[in-house]
Amino acid sequence: MPDYLPFGDEKFLKWVEILYAYVLAHFAGWNIPSPQSRLEALLTAYRTALQAAQNPNRGKVDVQTKNEAKAALKKEIRIYVGAYLTRNPAVTDADRVAMELPIRKSTHTLVSVPTTAPQLFIDTRTRRRLIITYRDEASDKRGKPYGVHGVEVKWAILDQSPTDIAELVHSSFDTKPPLIIEFEEHLRGKKVFLCGRWEIEREGEKGPFGAIEEAIIP
């Protein structure tokens, strides 16, 4: 199995929390050990260590403790996933997508080009940064639909709403939310218009664009 663990401390923590919550809700039906017995203590230790390492008054010991807690959690995650989730017939590919785990290729069935579009949720609480999560317009769950490799977000800084997607001259791509777009200080307060579409891995085939969203650079 390829390395599926997200890069970055916060992104890794968020991913583990999603995986943990999903497995906790389904482990009994899958007939596997509870994640509470295998992962909870390590997850708590890493969450606490990460908070300490992010404190402005942190020291070298705090950073080292965070790194050690992360390494221990990574090791146990790989063992747990490999033993109970990768080849367990009770765990469906849709379950693996929800947990953001890779899907083992056992057939050559082609994934259909998406016919729906992503709905973008834009968080502007961080200075000079747009933090974008997304879900399919036909779903009430965050993230990508089954078989989709990632989301392409077209965007541009404009004075007024564009009349054509071609006016969105910048493009950002993401496979694991959130997608983060950062800006220079002098651009704060300007309008950004964004629009997304799904993409599958096969030669970058794409679905239709969704609605154009507007945000103000914080």
Tens-digit pLDDT profile for the chain (218 aa)? 447 888 889 999 999 999 999 999 999 999 999 999 889 999 999 999 999 999 988 899 999 999 999 999 999 999 999 899 988 989 999 999 999 898 776 545 566 788 999 999 999 999 999 999 999 998 888 888 888 889 999 999 999 999 999 999 999 999 888 999 999 999 999 999 999 999 987 667 889 999 999 999 99
Phi/psi for 172 (5° steps) reads -125, 145
Which residue, among 185, 186, 207, 188, has the nearest Cα to 196 in the 3D structure? 207
3-state secondary structure of 202: helix
The C-alpha atoms of residue 65 and residue 46 are separated, in whole angstroms, by 9
Of the candidates 166, 160, 129, 147, which has an alpha carbon nearest to the alpha carbon of residue 205? 147
Query: What does the pLDDT read at residue 105?
Result: 64
Residues 152-161, buried b or exposed e (16+ Cβ, 10 A)? bbbbbeeeee
Closest-CA residue to 11 (of 125, 133, 171): 133
Q: Where in the chain is the domain with CATH 2.60.40.10?
A: 118-216
pLDDT given for residue 141 in this prediction: 81
For domain 118-216, the question of CATH label 2.60.40.10 is answered with yes
Asked if 173 and 199 touch (Cβ cutoff 8 Å), the reply is yes
